[in-house]
A and B are shown apart, each in its own frame.
Chain A
Amino acid sequence: MSTSFIRLDGQPYVEWWEDRFGLSPATFAGLCFYQRGRSTVWAGVPDVDDLTGARVEAVGIPLLRLGARFWKPTSIAIITFASMASRNVLDLDDQETRRFLAGSESCLEATDPRREDLASGFIVARHDGVAIGCGEWHHGTLYSCIPKGKRVESVDL
């Protein structure tokens, strides 16, 4: 059986991370990019073309989901690559972090200075300087994009 992971040119995805989060392309140096199914782009080191005959279920980690209107970064890619992001980053306090990890939203006061740097859409949620997942920012509210199965209730910080 042949693999369903199709090798892609990574440049558009690397550029997307640079545009949205200010991440240097060097962040993704040495990685191969793959598409599996209609919407998921994966990033991993191995070249699956060197594994003829293997029934491949995953290569590295899922990086982005490609939608018709927007691309959505995965939380795991944010955690793995985006601690050094310089744009669309929101630093959360302990309480906001707990809510975020549990899958709940947080509203930021109209006067909160952190709002100034955020453009609507997907953002890097960060705690103590470390990326903790993908959030979605709209009209003063942060929504958690952590998938249901990965959420943690009342996490130990």
Chain B
Amino acid sequence: MTNTLERLNRYRELVDDWPAFIEACRMPLPTVVWVNPLRQAALLKLGKQGAPATSAGTDCASDSDILIATSILATRLEALGYPSQPVNWYPGALRVDDIDKPGKTLDFYLGLYHVQEEISLLPAVLLAAEPGERVLDLCAAPGGKTAQIACQMENTGTLVANDIRPNRLRALRSNCERLGLLNVVVSSHDGTRFPLEVGQFDRVLLDVPCSCEGNVRQSGKIPFEQAGGVRGRAGLQATLLGRAWKLLAPGGVLVYSTCTFAPEENELVLDYVLGEDAKIEPLEIEGLSSSAGVTEWNGRGLRPDCHNVARIWPHLNDTGGFAAARIRKRGEAP
């Protein structure tokens, strides 16, 4: 841990409250689950058989169904000895205490919920895909974000979920099946060469492989030494972004995200790859605090809209570390 903290020292200037940041990095991460809206009919049915407190399920579909389904899931998890708290910024998500095997329940097997790190729920929220669209998730495995996007699209349209690694593709496919995602096409390309002839997409999620510094709370250490440090991945990240940008239709939205603090893997990549036709948009998520992106690093000035990159430090919301940018491509949608 000491070694790890020394390595985080390079971010001292960027963090508003250093002791709080260090303190947060030492804490374990809570488990988060989110209700699968595609299976909420099953949850509503199960709720009717259960405790009277959850008998509010009605037969007509409405926006509040997801809230009812969430409270039914909370009741069912509690009955198994796993009390939970709602995640205030993400409807349908619950922080679950003391659950060591969230995958051993009938409800998980049935795809009624998915298990995902809380802060990694963010990119899909920023992407905000809509029903009927054509969407690409270029580095998709094991598929938590794919699943969120498929649900946003209400199981319509086309969502291409791509990854390069065979064993991770297996996990991706198995999650897509378990959650009943009918609008997903899984593909297995090297993202840096994803075929352009497939055509352009309304939205692209680029959740790049990174040095994972933000996962320090999960593992108690930073695994970036093996990965070649914070500069080792920047080349791949930039190449992936270049390709993803070509695959994005004019007027479309690309979300770039990492679970790392290093500007080399975030703002510097955006600054290096993005041109005049890109605009990094300001972000605001109700209930979630973030700090601004860096516009200068090691004496180098970056494009001013890098300020709009959202940096999520672990102490801000008691989550893992994360960074995300929502980028709009200029031009009219075709």
Given contacts A53-B195, A58-B176, A156-B80, contact A130 B182 (CB under 8 A): no
- Interchain CB contact under 8 A, B104 and A45: no
| B11 CB-CB contact with A under 8 Å | no
User: Which residues 1-54 of B have a CB within 8 angstroms of A?
Assistant: 41-42, 45-46, 49
Given contacts A45-B155, A45-B182, contact A56 B110 (CB under 8 A): no
| B177 CB-CB contact with A under 8 Å | yes
Closest residue on chain B to residue A30 by CB atoms: B156
Given contacts A51-B158, A54-B189, A130-B45, contact A60 B198 (CB under 8 A): no
Interface size bucket, B side?
35 or more
- Give Cα A60–Cα B186 distance, bound, in whole angstroms: 9
Contacts of A45 in B (CB 8 A): 155-158, 182-183
| A61 CB-CB contact with B under 8 Å | yes
Contacts of A52 in B (CB 8 A): 197-199
Closest residue on chain A to residue B182 by CB atoms: A60
| A118 CB-CB contact with B under 8 Å | no
Interface size bucket, A side?
35 or more
Given contacts A54-B160, A129-B45, A132-B110, contact A44 B197 (CB under 8 A): no
| A26 CB-CB contact with B under 8 Å | no
Contacts of A60 in B (CB 8 A): 181-184
Contacts of A79 in B (CB 8 A): 110-111, 180
| A31 CB-CB contact with B under 8 Å | yes
Give me the interface of B with A, judged by CB distance under 8 Å. Answer: 41-42, 45-46, 49, 80, 104-106, 109-111, 155-160, 169, 173, 176-178, 180-189, 195, 197-199
Pick the 5 closest A-B CB pairs, nearest first.
Answer: A53-B195, A46-B158, A53-B197, A58-B186, A156-B105
Give me the interface of A with B, judged by CB distance under 8 Å. Answer: 30-31, 43-48, 50-62, 76, 79-80, 83, 97, 101, 127-130, 132, 150, 152, 154-157
